[in-house]
C-alpha cells in the first residue's frame, strides 16, 4: 500500500503537492490540494529561521533548516496528503553555499546581513564600473548581492572559495541535500548580479574580472523543471517514496508574483514581508540608463518573464524595533504595537526606509531617532510614535517607487496588488492605499507558497499556464480591497517625505 494515498472529495481526485517556503525569519511546509480548479493550502509544519553569530560572522543554520524540511516530509506523510506528486523549495535570494570535490558542504553559508560586504561595492566599482555591471546583469545595486559577497570572500582569501567545486544558492543547496543533483534555477540565479539576461547564461566576463572560477557556477534551469527525486537514503530514513522534486521560481518573490491574482498583464505588485519588493512583470529586461539611475532590478520570473522591481527595506524595520525592545525587557505583541501606533499623532516623523543605517543596526529605534534628528524632525520616542513613523514612511516609499515603476515600464496602474505575510498588517495596507491615492488589493497572504504550488501544477500539466494559475488564485482565496482616504493629508506628507530622501 502506498505511503501517500489517493484522496477523493465529492468523487473528484485530489492532487497534492508539497511546498517548502523559507523566509528570512521562518519557514513553513505547505500542502497544496487542487480539486476542480480550486486550490486549498494547508500549513503542516512551521519553524523558526534564526541566524547564528559565530565570532565576527553571521551565518544561516542551513543544516537545521534541512532537518526541519525532513520534519515537514514526515508531517506530510501523516497528514493524509493524498497522492503527493511532487515537492519544491523557494527561499530568499543572494546567499550561497559551497560544496567541495566530494560534494560535502564547506561551512555554513553567510547571512546577507553579515558585515563582510561593507565597503565592497565601491571597491568592485574601481575595476568594473557600475554601468558595465548593470548593462550585463540588469540588477539593482545592493551590498548584499552575491557578486559582492563572492568578491568579499575572494579578498579575504576565504578557504571555502579556494576549495569550492560547486556554488549553490540556498534553495539549490537544500534541493541538492534532497536529491544529490547540483542544479541552479533561473529566478534566483538572476539575483546574483552575475547572470546575463541577454545571453541567458552566467556572465563569464564579470566572473573573470572578479577572479572567480567559472566552473563553480551550476547549470541554470527554468522554473518547472524536474530536478531529480528524493534520495534512497532519505526515503529509507523517513519512510517516504521517491517523490519527484521540481524547480519553481525559487526566489520567493518570483513565486509570490506567480500568485498575484491579476486580471491583466499590466499590473503592479508589492510582495510584503521582511523585505518589500515592488514592481511589475515585463517580457524583456529594462536595461536603460534611467533604470540604472533609479537603481531598479530585473529579476527572472516564471515563463522566462522578468520582474522589473525595486527592493525596499520592508517590515524588517518593525521586526528589529520589536527585538530591541524585547532585549530591554519590553515584550510587545504585534497587536499591541499597532494599537500604540493608532494612538500616535500622524506624520510626526518620517524616514527613508532604505538608508544604509537601517540595514543591520545594533539598535533600530535609535537609528530611526538619529535619522529624524539629522533631517531636522522630531525624534519618535514612544513605541507608538516609532511604529507609526515606520508604517507611514513605508507607505510613502511605496508611492515613490510605484511612480518610478510607471516611468520605466511605460504603464499606468489602476491600483496595487499586495501579497505576502505583511498584508496581515491592515494599518500598512490602508496607509498604502492612502499614500498611492489608488485602491490596494490585498491577498493572498501565503503568496510565495501558493506560487510555488502553482508552478508545480504547471510542471505536472494540471494547470496550462500562469494566467490560468492566477485565475485559480482569484477563485480560491479572498482578496480584501482598501480604498484611499484622507487624500490632502497624505499628499502633503508625500511632499515632505520626498524632501528627506537621500
Nearest to 124 by CA among 210, 59, 219: 210
C-alpha grid cell, residue 195: 547572470
Residue 181 CA to residue 231 CA, distance in Å, equals: 10
Q: How far is CA 326 from CA 320, 321, 383, in A?
A: 10, 9, 12
Nearest to 252 by CA among 191, 297, 206: 191
- Judge whether 306 and 197 are in contact, CB under 8 Å: yes
* Element housing 39 (H / E): strand 38-48
Backbone angles phi, psi at 201, to 5 degrees: -160, 170
E-strand stretches of 425-483: 440-442, 480-482
Catalytic residue among 95, 252, 352, 354: 252
- Judge whether 69 and 88 are in contact, CB under 8 Å: no
Residue 218 CA to residue 247 CA, distance in Å, equals: 14
- Measured at the alpha carbon of residue 45, what is the angle toward residues 44 and 46, in degrees to the nearest 5? 135
Composition of the chain by helix, strand, coil, percent to 5? 40, 20, 35
SS3 letters for 389-439?
HHHHHHHHHHHHHHHHHHHHHCCCCCCEEEECHHHHCHHHHHHHHHHHCCC
Backbone angles phi, psi at 52, to 5 degrees: -125, 125
- Whose cell is 533604470? That residue is 291
Q: Is 100 designated active site?
A: no
Those residues whose C-beta lies under 8 Å from the C-beta of residue 381, and which sit 6 or more positions away, are: 369
* 342-345 own/partner pairs: CB under 8 Å, 24+ apart: 342/384, 342/388, 342/427, 343/384, 344/382, 344/384, 344/385, 344/387, 344/388, 345/385, 345/388
- Whose cell is 568594473? That residue is 128
Active-site amino acid positions: 252
Amino acid at each position: 500500500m502506498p505511503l501517500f494515498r489517493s484522496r477523493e472529495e465529492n468523487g473528484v481526485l485530489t492532487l497534492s503537492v508539497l511546498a517548502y517556503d523559507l523566509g528570512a525569519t521562518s519557514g513553513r511546509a505547505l500542502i497544496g490540494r487542487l480539486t476542480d480548479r480550486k486550490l486549498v493550502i494547508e500549513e503542516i509544519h512551521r519553524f523558526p529561521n534564526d541566524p547564528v553569530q559565530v565570532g565576527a560572522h553571521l551565518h544561516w543554520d542551513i543544516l537545521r533548516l534541512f532537518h526541519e524540511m525532513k520534519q515537514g516530509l514526515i508531517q506530510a506523510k501523516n497528514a493524509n496528503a493524498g497522492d503527493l506528486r511532487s515537492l519544491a523549495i523557494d527561499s530568499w535570494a543572494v546567499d550561497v553555499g559551497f560544496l567541495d570535490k566530494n560534494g560535502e558542504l564547506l561551512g555554513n553559508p553567510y547571512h546577507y546581513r553579515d558585515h563582510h560586504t561593507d565597503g565592497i561595492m565601491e571597491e568592485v566599482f574601481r575595476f568594473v564600473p557600475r554601468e558595465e555591471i548593470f548593462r550585463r546583469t540588469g540588477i539593482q545595486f545592493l551590498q548584499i548581492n552575491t557578486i559582492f559577497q563572492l568578491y568579499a570572500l575572494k579578498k579575504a582569501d576565504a578557504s571555502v572559495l579556494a576549495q569550492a567545486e560547486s556554488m549553490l544558492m540556498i534553495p539549490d543547496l537544500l534541493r541538492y541535500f534532497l536529491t544529490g543533483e547540483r542544479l541552479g534555477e533561473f529566478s534566483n540565479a538572476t539575483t546574483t548580479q552575475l547572470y546575463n539576461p541577454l545571453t541567458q547564461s552566467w556572465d563569464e566576463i564579470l566572473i573573470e574580472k572578479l577572479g572567480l572560477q567559472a566552473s563553480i557556477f551550476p547549470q541554470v534551469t527554468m522554473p518547472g523543471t524536474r530536478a531529480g527525486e528524493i534520495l534512497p537514503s532519505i526515503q529509507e530514513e523517513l519512510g517516504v517514496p521517491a517523490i519527484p522534486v521540481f524547480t519553481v521560481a525559487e526566489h520567493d518573490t518570483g513565486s509570490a508574483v506567480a500568485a498575484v491574482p491579476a486580471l491583466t498583464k499590466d499590473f503592479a505588485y508589492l510582495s510584503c514581508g521582511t523585505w518589500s519588493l515592488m514592481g511589475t512583470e515585463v517580457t524583456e529586461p529594462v536595461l536603460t540608463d534611467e533604470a540604472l539611475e533609479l537603481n531598479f532590478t530585473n529579476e527572472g520570473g516564471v515563463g522566462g518573464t522578468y520582474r522589473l522591481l525595486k527592493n525596499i527595506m520592508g517590515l524588517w524595520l518593525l521586526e528589529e524595533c520589536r527585538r530591541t525592545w524585547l532585549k530591554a525587557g519590553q515584550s510587545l505583541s504585534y497587536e499591541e504595537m499597532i494599537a500604540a501606533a493608532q494612538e500616535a499623532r500622524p506624520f510626526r516623523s518620517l524616514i527613508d526606509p532604505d538608508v544604509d543605517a537601517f540595514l543591520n543596526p545594533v539598535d533600530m529605534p535609535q537609528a530611526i531617532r538619529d535619522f529624524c534628528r539629522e533631517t531636522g524632525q522630531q525624534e519618535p520616542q514612544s513605541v507608538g510614535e516609532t511604529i507609526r513613523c515606520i508604517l507611514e514612511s513605508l507607505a510613502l516609499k511605496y508611492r515613490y517607487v510605484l511612480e518610478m515603476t510607471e516611468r520605466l515600464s511605460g504603464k499606468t496602474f489602476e491600483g496595487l496588488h499586495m501579497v505576502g505575510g505583511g498584508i496581515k498588517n491592515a494599518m500598512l495596507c490602508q496607509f498604502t492605499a492612502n499614500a498611492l491615492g489608488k485602491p490596494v488589493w490585498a491577498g493572498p497572504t501565503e503568496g510565495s507558497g501558493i506560487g510555488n504550488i502553482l508552478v508545480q501544477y504547471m510542471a505536472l500539466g494540471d494547470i496550462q499556464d500562469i494566467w490560468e494559475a492566477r485565475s485559480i488564485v482569484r477563485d480560491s482565496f479572498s482578496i480584501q480591497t482598501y480604498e484611499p482616504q484622507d487624500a490632502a493629508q497624505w499628499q502633503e506628507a508625500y511632499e515632505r517625505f520626498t524632501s528627506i530622501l537621500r
